[in-house]
């Protein structure tokens, strides 16, 4: 199974290489797509090395390929981990303003879209964030709930990304 791993601008992006390794251990092929802010929080070269695949972030490549369509066709499912509040809002609104959101829009509806949100607990509890999550789930997205934990911002509460092993287990099942 081909997993397209989207990494948006959450601090949990640093867990990306670990998540890739756990997905691959289950026999899944993984290609990573980063948002511009995701690429500030995890090294694309590390993801390329552990996935043994190119890493994508450019929506307008100069090689003549229509990257969002090619990647959407390649994928059997898409997993966004971490999914930032901003990414959830963009997908809920159907925006297609970078490679990741455009290919999510181009993903055939029968292909699962997994979302593993991660953010500060105040952000996670905000009604606007919860409304976007509810909209996405109503449309068929599969939510991997954030967990209670010590957050990077120093707070304790719900908002930490689910454990990479748990995510790999769910997506690979
Ligand atoms: C160090 C750092 C950590 C961040 N962590 C998170 C986070 O865990 N979750 C979140 O929703 N936003 C987080 N943000 C804010 C997002 O990066 C910001 O909203 C950005 O616009 C998200 O862009 P993207 O969704 O296109 O990747 C963080 C920002 C910084 C500077």
pLDDT, tens only, 51-86: 999 999 999 988 989 999 999 999 999 999 999 999
| Residue from 15, 37, 80 to probe ligand 1 pocket by mutation (most atoms less than 8 Å from CB) | 37
Q: Are residues 108 and 146 in the same domain?
A: no
Give the angle 95-97-99 at the CA atoms, nearest 5°. Answer: 110
Give the angle 57-4-122 at the CA atoms, nearest 5°. Answer: 80
The CA distance from 37 to 128, in Å, is 21
**Burial call 71-110: b when 16+ CB within 10 Å, e when fewer:** bbeebebbbbbbbbbbbbbbbbeeebebbbbbbbebbeee
> Which DSSP symbol is given to 172?
H
* The two structure tokens encoding residue 121: 């607990």
Closest Cα to atom 5, ligand 1: which residue?
10
Q: Are residues 25 and 68 in the same domain?
A: yes
Q: Are residues 73 and 2 in the same domain?
A: yes
Q: Are residues 106 and 141 in the same domain?
A: no
In this prediction, residues 96-123 reach a mean pLDDT of 97
Q: What is the pLDDT of residue 156?
A: 85
Categorize the per-residue pLDDT at 99 as very low, low, confident or very high, splitting at 50, 70 and 90: very high
Closest Cα to atom 6, ligand 1: which residue?
10
Ligand 1 binding residues, C-beta < 6 A: 8-12, 35, 37-38, 82, 84-87, 118-119, 123
Residue 33 has pLDDT above 90, yes or no: yes
Using alpha carbons, list the distances in angstroms from residue 163 to 19, 44, 46, 54, 167: 9, 21, 19, 25, 6
Closest CA to 23 of 55, 52, 45, 58: 52
pTM over 0.85? The answer is yes
In a domain, 9, yes or no: yes
Domain of residue 118 covers 113-153
Total domains in the chain come to 2
Active site residues: 153
Q: Are residues 67 and 50 in the same domain?
A: yes
In a domain, 168, yes or no: no
Q: Are residues 121 and 70 in the same domain?
A: no
In a domain, 49, yes or no: yes
Q: Are residues 103 and 119 in the same domain?
A: no
Q: Are residues 104 and 117 in the same domain?
A: no
| Residue from 6, 7, 8, 9 to probe ligand 1 pocket by mutation (most atoms less than 8 Å from CB) | 9
Closest Cα to atom 19, ligand 1: which residue?
86
The CA distance from 139 to 12, in Å, is 25
Mean pLDDT score of the chain, rounded to an integer?
A: 96
Q: Using one digit for the tens of pLDDT, what is the confidence trace for 125-165?
A: 999 999 999 999 999 999 999 999 888 888 888 999 999 99
Closest Cα to atom 23, ligand 1: which residue?
9
Q: Are residues 13 and 39 in the same domain?
A: yes
Q: Is the dihedral of CA 97, 103, 108, 109 positive or negative?
A: negative
Q: Are residues 132 and 48 in the same domain?
A: no
Q: What is the CA(133)–ligand 1 centre distance, in A?
A: 16
């Amino acid at each position: 199974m081909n997993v397209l791993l989207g990494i948006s601008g959450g601090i949990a992006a640093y867990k990306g290489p670990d998540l890739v390794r756990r997905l691959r251990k289950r026999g899944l092929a993984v290609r990573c797509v980063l948002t511009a802010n995701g690429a500030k929080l995890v090294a694309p070269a590390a993801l390329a090395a552990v996935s043994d695949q190119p890493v994508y972030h450019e929506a307008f490549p100069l090689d003549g390929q229509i990257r969002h369509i090619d990647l959407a066709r390649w994928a059997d499912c898409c997993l966004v981990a971490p999914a930032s509040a901003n990414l959830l809002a963009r997908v809920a609104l159907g925006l297609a303003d970078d490679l990741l959101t455009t290919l999510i829009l181009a993903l055939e509806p029968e292909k699962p879209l997994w979302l593993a949100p991660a953010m500060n607990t105040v952000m996670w509890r905000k009604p606007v964030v919860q409304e976007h999550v509810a909209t996405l789930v109503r449309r068929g997205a599969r939510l991997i709930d954030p967990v209670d934990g010590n957050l990077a911002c120093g707070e304790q509460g719900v908002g930490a990304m689910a454990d990479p092993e748990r995510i790999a287990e769910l997506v690979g099942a």
